[in-house]
């Protein structure tokens, strides 16, 4: 029990030491006086009385020390003392401090910024209660089922009580599916919004409460129920300024009456992290009416993702197996598995996995992961370089303080005490560096996000570093402090004091230690690696941007719209398209107008298995996939995709004429590998019975419709309104509705956008333009991630170069200072200033050269891991290598020149005298 | 100023201080030191300064308490006295010490 009292007393004393010190001093003084008094009364003279009293007391200072040691928390006190001393030291050497802080701050800041981005895009939890209970069916990246049809979802939902709620949501990206809506009765133009079909229990599964009104319920998700929708808070704010009358008001969506029943809570952005979060949530049951096609009733259309909240304590592996078993009878219906040979085998191989769903549907994670990991490595390198810099700085300073430390040791300081003090200095410096780093991280994160997602205003991706990031930054800085504090602390404490005192300034070989030199070599090596990486990525980006896409890019505009939202039936489409075409061509500056289901690099893609008439059944492992599109007769001309053989789609290929198709070269290569003439051959989509649907009439050049950095895919092109003879209607209908108009302009045409919107609005007010962009801008958008990675790598590469230069400068300056007397001697013996400069420069370039020797081969090796990010660039690209090496050599020269010049101006006599 | 010596001295010195305060009542630091010197018949020759860490230890445990007062000669000094807890502890500590002394005596006695 005593120890508690003692501890409390010590804590109290720690807080108010000054008063207690004064008390003690008074008490000791009183003691001495009383003793002196007694001595005097015994007859001693004044002087002797006092001396005797002091002698019998013993050492006053020592008493004070032992008293203090017993009194307070001595460890803490010495720590505070160390910190104060360290702070004073840092203030006294501003050059060192600022350099060190900047270096550390940039290194740590870069890391924290990358970590913020990674956390925001890959690791962030959905803003719902208990996100760890959410499980997603599918997407373990190993080929399990991830897309489900409505029937499959219903089956799972009804038979899996292990889920509290099992919800479904559309798989295609919501910002590719816009619904046109306007408020009924209001003077409001119809506008398109990002929308998403979700099941009735979606919000119940999420477990959130509405900001206003109510959220969707299972009763809304029944065919024939009155149509309702939920608006996002962002849209409520943006379009209607949080007008409370919106809740419960009647809207018109795609010409159908829909009631807005409520607003989703403010921080809710949907089920996936995307720069364009969902603004309108509509029940699955409305899809046949509001949607592009009736996916709901089509048994093979796998258009849903499944996300559910499991009940606590449920075992996942048996649940997976159970769900898979529930699906097997439905799988037999899919055409892929219904064509005879190998069917059972293929079905056996189907897997279903449950993956963690706490961050929802991780689409962005999938797309961005590779790039972000690369950036993480790069910022790690930068941090290493920064640490090496700091280590060198501290080492140099430590060695300069040799004399001071030796004196301390000679005066009786314990070695551990000195080491502790130096460690404290390092840790203080790195903690301050951490703070600077976090500040830089805040700034850089915002900039990086704007680089990554240039168009997103209401993005759920936040730019502010989270507690994890801050913790990470401080952890890194603390570790750095401990690491680079160790070396000098350890080295100095083991120095023999007399040795050091005798040694100061008398060395003739003032070379920096091996450690210092290796650190600089390490820095240069790492910088070279980064520069080469940056160069390769920059080159790759340029290649991506200027590749031959297979179509023309200049003077082209893409107008994205959704004709189905305007309520046209399929019979009305032909005259509509004719009218649209004429109207577009009548606009000033427009020379050509083509229409398509989707334009190149729209972000859309339709694919299908292909069955060629007369060819044998493909094996189970053969790739019979092809992308396809619908195009108007003018489209190829409009985008500049060249016809190679046969004929184009013509105006005479109508809904009532025989089915024709134009294919690209890659299609010919995949499906007619033995060189047969494709013209005249027939093929179909999906099952064998449709093999005669389409007759090939022409071949076009390959063009990139899907991804700029992928190989050319086989593609076939159908006329806008032709229907496959064999296929059932429901699937085909949505593809009759064009999604894009491509306009070719004669030159720059300001104001064209407004004219286009107006022209379409005149034809039908519901013909809403969802997006209007030049083709160049559209392509640029597709390359956002590559641009981000390339730019950041270049930034980090330059940062690394700057840091390495600082390091080299520091080392050279230090060496020159150490060799002061040597240089003096040389000059006295007749060396020219130029000789001195050359000598110093040689030393510095040697370091840089060693770094290059090590760095370049390592860079070539590492290039292997980066290859997936590179487009048409080999990792040993000679131009990039030369540029990187030249940049480094130049920087090294610049860094070493200043101290070299200073060395040449050393006054020989002064140098020799200052010992 | 060997550290080893002071370890042993800690316990004994603390007990001496306690006993002194028990018999003499309230004393200032100097008086305690002089009294110990006298009682031990000057066999305990100590640096008087060492009394203060001992007093601090006892203060921390709240076995003694301190307050400022005025000495006989009119000088301001800090006076220490036993607390109730301290009085209890004296009995315990005395017992402990006697037990140790008896055991040691047995070991140190010439073997027969």
Positive or negative, the CA dihedral A724, A725, A726, A729 is positive
**Out of A2, A30, A67, closest to residue B75 by CB:** A30
- Rounded average pLDDT over A56-65: 83
Question: Do B76 and A30 count as a contact with CB atoms less than 8 A apart?
Answer: yes
Q: Within an 8 Å CB–CB cutoff, is residue A143 touching chain B?
A: no
Q: Within an 8 Å CB–CB cutoff, is residue A40 touching chain B?
A: no
> If you ran DSSP here, which 8-state letter would residue A246 be given?
G
State the pLDDT at residue A295.
Answer: 78
Minimal CA–CA distance to B49: which of A58, A36, A70? A58
**Span B49-69, pLDDT tens digits:** 888 888 888 888 888 999 988
Mark A350-367 as b/e (b = at least 16 C-beta within 10 Å): eebbbbebbbbbbbbbee
Minimal CA–CA distance to A524: which of A796, A807, A110? A807
**Span A131-176, pLDDT tens digits:** 989 999 887 666 678 888 888 899 899 988 999 999 999 988 787 7
pLDDT above 70 for A498: no
**Span A758-786, pLDDT tens digits:** 898 888 888 878 888 888 888 888 887 78
Q: Within an 8 Å CB–CB cutoff, is residue A222 touching chain B?
A: no
Positive or negative, the CA dihedral A641, A647, A652, A657 is negative
- Rounded average pLDDT over A721-742: 75
- Rounded average pLDDT over A190-219: 92
- Rounded average pLDDT over A289-314: 82
Q: 3-class secondary structure for A430-449? A: HHHHHHHHHHHHHHHHHHHH
Q: State the pTM of this model.
A: 0.71
Question: Do B52 and A9 count as a contact with CB atoms less than 8 A apart?
Answer: no
Averaged pLDDT of chain A:
83
Q: In this structure, what token pair is assigned to residue A744?
A: 């070719």
DSSP assignment of A377-429 equals HHHHHHHHHHHHHHHHHHHHHHHHTHHHHHHHHHHT--HHHHHHHHHHHHHHH
- Rounded average pLDDT over A227-247: 91
> Helix, strand, coil shares of chain A as percentages rounded to 5?
55, 15, 30
CB of A591 within 8 A of CB of A745? yes
Q: Within an 8 Å CB–CB cutoff, is residue A67 touching chain B?
A: yes
What is the percent of chain A with per-residue pLDDT over 70, rounded to a whole number?
91
Mark A862-871 as b/e (b = at least 16 C-beta within 10 Å): ebeebeebbb
CB of A848 within 8 A of CB of A889? yes
Higher pLDDT, residue A476 or B52? B52
d(CA A79, CA A87): 12
Tell me the CA distances in angstroms from A145 to A328, A341, A374, A520, A546, one per residue in order.
12, 21, 29, 52, 37
pLDDT above 70 for B6: no
**Span A445-464, pLDDT tens digits:** 777 777 766 666 556 666 67
Least confident range of A575-584, A585-594, A610-619, A627-636 = A610-619
pLDDT band at A493 (very low <50, low <70, confident <90, very high): low
Q: Following CA atoms A395, A397, A399, A400 in sequence, which dihedral angle do they give, to the nearest 10 degrees?
A: 170
d(CA A296, CA A151): 8
**Span A796-847, pLDDT tens digits:** 888 888 888 888 888 888 778 777 778 888 888 888 888 888 888 888 888 8
Question: Do A30 and B49 count as a contact with CB atoms less than 8 A apart?
Answer: no
HSE (CB half, 13 Å, CA atoms) of A355? Answer: 19
Within A453-589, residue ranges assigned H as helices are 467-493, 497-503, 514-546, 573-586
Residues of chain A with C-beta less than 8 angstroms from the C-beta of B50: 58, 63, 66
Residues of chain B with C-beta less than 8 angstroms from the C-beta of A24: 52
Phi, psi of A179 (to 5 degrees): -110, 140
pLDDT band at A184 (very low <50, low <70, confident <90, very high): confident
d(CA A144, CA A349): 9
State the pLDDT at residue A463.
Answer: 65
Q: Within an 8 Å CB–CB cutoff, is residue A49 touching chain B?
A: no
Minimal CA–CA distance to A53: which of A36, A65, A37, A74? A36
State the pLDDT at residue A512.
Answer: 61
Q: In this structure, what token pair is assigned to residue A312?
A: 């606590």
CB of A107 within 8 A of CB of A434? no
pLDDT above 90 for A364: no
Residues of chain B with C-beta less than 8 angstroms from the C-beta of A6: 60-61
Mark A432-454 as b/e (b = at least 16 C-beta within 10 Å): bbbbbbbebbbebbeebbebbbe
Mark B96-110 as b/e (b = at least 16 C-beta within 10 Å): eeeeeeeeeeeeeee
Question: Do B53 and A27 count as a contact with CB atoms less than 8 A apart?
Answer: no
Beta carbons within 8 Å of A166's beta carbon, 6+ residues apart: A153, A156, A157, A160, A201, A205, A306, A308, A309
State the pLDDT at residue A434.
Answer: 83
State the pLDDT at residue A337.
Answer: 59
Least confident range of A139-143, A345-349, A696-700 = A139-143
Averaged pLDDT of chain B:
81
pLDDT band at B5 (very low <50, low <70, confident <90, very high): very low
Q: In this structure, what token pair is assigned to residue A348?
A: 């056996």
Higher pLDDT, residue A84 or A118? A84
pLDDT band at A503 (very low <50, low <70, confident <90, very high): low
State the pLDDT at residue A494.
Answer: 67
**Out of A26, A28, A71, closest to residue B56 by CB:** A71
What is the percent of chain A with per-residue pLDDT over 90, rounded to a whole number?
18
CB of A335 within 8 A of CB of A686? yes
Residue A23: closest CA among chain B residues belongs to which residue? B78
pLDDT above 80 for A787: yes
Positive or negative, the CA dihedral A446, A452, A457, A463 is negative
State the pLDDT at residue A495.
Answer: 62
Q: Helix, strand, or coil here: A676?
A: coil
């Amino acid at each position: 029990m005593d120890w508690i009292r003692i501890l409390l007393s010590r804590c109290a004393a720690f807080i108010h030491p000054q008063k207690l010190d004064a008390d003690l001093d008074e008490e000791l003084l009183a003691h001495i006086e009383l003793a002196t008094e007694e001595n005097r009364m015994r007859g001693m003279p004044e002087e002797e009385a006092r001396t005797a009293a002091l002698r019998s007391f013993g050492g006053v200072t020592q008493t004070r020390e032992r008293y203090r040691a017993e009194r307070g928390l001595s460890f803490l006190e010495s720590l505070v003392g160390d910190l104060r001393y360290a702070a004073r030291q840092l203030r006294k050497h501003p050059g060192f401090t600022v350099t060190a802080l900047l270096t550390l701050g940039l290194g740590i800041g870069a890391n924290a910024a990358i970590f913020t981005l990674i956390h925001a895009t890959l690791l962030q939890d959905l803003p719902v209660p208990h996100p760890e209970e959410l499980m997603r069916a599918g997407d373990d990246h190993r080929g399990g089922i991830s897309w489900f049809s409505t029937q499959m979802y219903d089956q799972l939902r009804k038979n899996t009580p292990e889920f509290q709620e099992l919800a479904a949501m559309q798989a295609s990206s919501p910002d590719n599916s816009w619904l046109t809506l306007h408020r009924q009765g209001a003077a409001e133009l119809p506008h398109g919004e990002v929308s998403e079909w979700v099941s009735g229990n979606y919000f119940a599964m999420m477990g959130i409460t509405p900001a206003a009104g109510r959220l969707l319920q299972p009763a809304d998700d029944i065919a024939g129920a009155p149509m309702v929708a939920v608006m996002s808070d962002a849209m409520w704010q943006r379009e209607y300024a949080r007008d409370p009358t919106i809740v419960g008001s009647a809207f018109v969506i795609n010409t159908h009456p829909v009631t807005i029943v409520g607003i989703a809570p403010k921080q809710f952005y949907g089920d996936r992290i995307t720069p364009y979060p969902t603004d309108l949530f509509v029940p699955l049951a409305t899809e046949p009416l509001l949607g592009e096609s009736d996916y709901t009733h089509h048994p093979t259309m796998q258009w849903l993702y499944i996300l559910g909240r499991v009940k606590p304590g449920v075992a996942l592996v048996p649940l997976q197996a159970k769900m898979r078993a529930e699906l097997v009878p439905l799988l037999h219906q899919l055409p892929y598995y219904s064509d005879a040979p190998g069917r059972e085998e293929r079905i056996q191989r189907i897997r279903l996995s449950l993956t963690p769903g706490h961050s929802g549907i991780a689409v962005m994670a999938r797309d961005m992961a590779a790039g972000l990991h690369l950036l993480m490595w790069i910022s790690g390198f930068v941090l290493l370089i920064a640490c090496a810099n700091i280590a060198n700085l501290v080492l140099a300073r430590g060695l300069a303080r040799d004399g001071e430390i030796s004196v301390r040791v000679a005066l009786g300081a314990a070695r551990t005490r000195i080491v502790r003090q130096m460690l404290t200095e390092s840790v203080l410096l790195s903690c301050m560096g951490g703070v600077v780093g976090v500040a830089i991280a805040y700034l850089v994160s915002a900039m990086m996000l704007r680089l990554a997602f240039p168009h997103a205003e209401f993005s759920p991706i936040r730019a502010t570093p989270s507690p994890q990031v801050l913790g990470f930054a401080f952890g890194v800085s603390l570790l750095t402090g401990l690491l680079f504090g160790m070396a000098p602390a350890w080295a100095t404490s083991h120095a023999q004091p007399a040795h050091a005192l005798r040694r100061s300034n008398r060395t003739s070989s003032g070379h920096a230690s091996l450690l210092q030199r290796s650190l600089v070599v390490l820095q240069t090596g790492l910088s070279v690696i980064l520069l080469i990486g940056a160069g390769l990525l920059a080159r790759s980006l340029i290649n991506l941007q200027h590749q031959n896409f297979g179509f023309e890019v200049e003077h082209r505009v893409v107008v994205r719209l959704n004709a189905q939202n305007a309520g046209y039936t399929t019979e009305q489409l032909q005259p509509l398209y004719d009218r649209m075409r004429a109207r577009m061509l009548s606009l000033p500056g427009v020379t050509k107008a083509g229409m398509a289901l989707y334009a190149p690099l729209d972000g859309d893609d339709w694919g299908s298995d292909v069955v060629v008439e007369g060819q044998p059944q493909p094996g189970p492992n053969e790739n019979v996939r092809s992308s396809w599109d619908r195009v108007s007769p003018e489209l190829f001309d409009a985008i500049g995709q060249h016809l190679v053989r046969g004929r184009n789609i013509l105006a005479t290929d109508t809904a009532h004429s025989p089915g024709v198709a134009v294919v690209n070269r890659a299609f010919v290569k995949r499906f007619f590998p033995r060189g047969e003439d494709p013209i005249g051959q027939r093929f179909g989509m999906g099952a064998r019975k449709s093999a005669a649907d389409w007759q090939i009439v022409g071949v076009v050049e390959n063009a990139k419709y899907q991804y700029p950095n992928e190989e050319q895919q086989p593609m076939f092109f159908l006329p806008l309104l032709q229907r496959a003879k064999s296929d059932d209607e429901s699937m085909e209908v949505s593809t009759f509705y064009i999604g894009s108009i491509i306009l070719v302009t004669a030159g720059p045409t300001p104001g064209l956008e407004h004219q286009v919107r107006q022209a379409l609005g005149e034809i039908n007010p519901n013909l809403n333009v969802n997006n209007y962009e030049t083709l160049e801008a559209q392509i640029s958008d597709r390359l956002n991630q590559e641009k981000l990675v390339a730019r950041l790598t270049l930034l980090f590469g330059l940062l690394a170069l700057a840091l390495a230069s600082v390091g080299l400068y520091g080392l050279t300056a230090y060496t020159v200072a150490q060799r002061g007397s040597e240089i003096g001697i040389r000059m006295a013996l007749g060396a020219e200033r130029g000789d001195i400069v050359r000598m110093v420069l040689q030393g510095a370039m040697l370091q840089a050269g060693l770094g290059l020797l090590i760095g370049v081969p390592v860079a070539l090796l590492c290039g292997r891991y980066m290859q997936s990010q590179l487009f048409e660039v080999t990792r040993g690209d000679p131009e990039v290598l030369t540029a990187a090496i030249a940049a480094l050599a130049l920087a090294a020269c610049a860094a070493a020149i200043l101290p070299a010049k200073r060395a040449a101006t050393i006054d020989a006599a002064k140098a020799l005298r200052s010992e | 100023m060997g550290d080893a010596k002071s370890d042993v001295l800690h316990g004994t010195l603390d007990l001496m201080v306690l006993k002194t305060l028990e018999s003499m009542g309230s004393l200032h630091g100097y008086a305690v030191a002089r009294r110990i010197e006298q009682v031990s018949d000057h066999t305990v020759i100590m640096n008087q300064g060492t009394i203060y860490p001992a007093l601090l230890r006892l203060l921390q445990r709240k076995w003694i308490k301190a307050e400022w007062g005025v000495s006989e000669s009119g000088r301001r000094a800090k006076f220490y006295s036993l607390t109730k807890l301290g009085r209890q502890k004296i009995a315990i500590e005395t017992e402990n010490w006697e037990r140790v002394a008896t055991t040691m005596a047995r070991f140190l006695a010439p073997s027969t």
